[in-house]
Amino acid sequence: AQTVTQSQPEMSVQEAETVTLSCTYDTSENNYYLFWYKQPPSRQMILVIRQEAYKQQNATENRFSVNFQKAAKSFSLKISDSQLGDTAMYFCAFMKGETSGSRLTFGEGTQLTVNP
Amino acid sequence: EAQVTQNPRYLITVTGKKLTVTCSQNMNHEYMSWYRQDPGLGLRQIYYSMNVEVTDKGDVPEGYKVSRKEKRNFPLILESPSPNQTSLYFCASTRQGTGELFFGEGSRLTVL
């Protein structure tokens, strides 16, 4: 079974600064996908970024980027130029195999607060 | 607009009173699933469905039932709710080819 661990229950950052959220996972699979989801106070789950395990290049989406270390089974999220609207719970998630919609395993979440 | 719609958004009920949380998606996705979110545990999958009439258990299926009679709908049924089912519930559908989940807005359920 796969496990996903987010070791930082809470983090804070000043507006305009950079913050990195950690995520590690455990799997024996070679083909899988990793995701970061954001959950603001509205409770809506929003996809932030997605990474295919077979791709060596780290995914980026505007101010969001990942550091994917496959051998170390690490998948951290870097948020640059933090904005107040980035305040949210962030979940790391793992999906094995083909993207037909198989089970998504989530980490415990990291509550990020951006301070003005 | 592509969306997943859940109802009700909030519900307070009593132990043993059967309830159904509805879920509907308009993206023609084959794969749908239900998750519950609890503090410190993240989201855990309850049930999933790979197509009409095809459903299977997720990580925490006890106390829940589902059905998939139509592609767009995937209701979650609590036959006899108990207080440990007090939680935030999410329905999701999956875009094939990317694995991206589209979530509903969540249903906050309290069982007294």
pLDDT score recorded for residue B104: 96
The confidence band for A102, taking pLDDT boundaries of 50, 70 and 90, is low
Do A103 and B58 lie within an 8 Å CB cutoff? yes
Strand-pairing partners, residue A96, are A32
Q: What is the pLDDT of residues A104-116, one digit of tens each?
A: 899 999 999 999 9
Cβ-based contacts under 8 A for chains A and B: 65
Q: Which of A43, A91, A108 sits opposite B88 (nearest CB)?
A: A43
- Chain A contact present for B58, CB below 8 A: yes
Instruction: Give the mean pLDDT of A19-34.
Output: 93
Mean pLDDT across chain A:
92
CA distance A60 to A17: 17
Which residues of chain A make contact with B31, given a CB cutoff of 8 A?
A: 100-101
Length of chain A: 116
Q: Among B77, B97, B93, which residue's Cα sits nearest to residue B85?
A: B77
Pairwise CB contact (< 8 Å): B58 & A106: no
Total length of chain B: 112
Q: Which residues of B touch A106 (CB under 8 A)?
A: 35, 42-44
Q: A95 to chain B: which residues are within 8 Å by CB? A: 99
Q: What's CA B11's distance to the chain center, in Å?
A: 14
Assess contact for A15 and A114: CB atoms under 8 A: yes
Among A21, A25, A1, CA closest to A11:
A21
Q: What pLDDT is recorded for position A4?
A: 95
Closest CA to A13 of A107, A97, A103, A86: A86
Question: Which residues face A10 on adjacent strands?
Answer: A111
Please provide the DSSP assignment of B61-85 as one string. Answer: -TT-EE--SSSSB--EEESS--GGG
Percent of chain A with pLDDT over 90: 81
> Which whole-number Å values give the CA distances from B39 to A46, A58, A108, in the listed order?
18, 30, 8
At residue A101, does pLDDT exceed 70?
no
Q: What is the mean pLDDT of residues A93-109?
A: 79
Taking the Cβ of residue B54 and every Cβ of chain A, the question of whether any pair is shorter than 8 Å is answered with: no
Whether B1 and chain A come into contact, CB under 8 Å, resolves to: no
Whether A101 sits inside 8 A of B40 (CB atoms) is: no
B10-50 pLDDT, tens digit each: 999 999 999 999 999 999 999 999 999 999 899 999 999 98
Positive/negative CA dihedral, A77, A115, A46, A44: positive
Helices (H) and strands (E) in chain B — how many of each?
A: 0, 11
Could you tell me where the DSSP H helices lie in chain B?
none
Provide the β-strand partners of residue B34. Answer: B47, B91
Who among B42, B48, B97 is closest to A103 (CB)? Answer: B48
Instruction: Find the radius of gyration of the CA atoms of chain B.
Output: 13
d(CA A46, CA A60): 16
Question: Are B42 and A50 an interchain contact pair (Cβ–Cβ within 8 Å)?
Answer: no
Give residue-wise pLDDT tens across range B45-91: 999 998 999 999 999 999 999 999 999 999 999 999 999 999 999 99
Q: Is A94 on the interface with B (CB under 8 A)?
A: no
Give me the amino acid identity at A75.
F
Q: What share of chain B has pLDDT > 90, as a percent?
A: 82
Tokens of A34: 């990793």
> Are A35 and B99 in contact (CB < 8 Å)?
yes
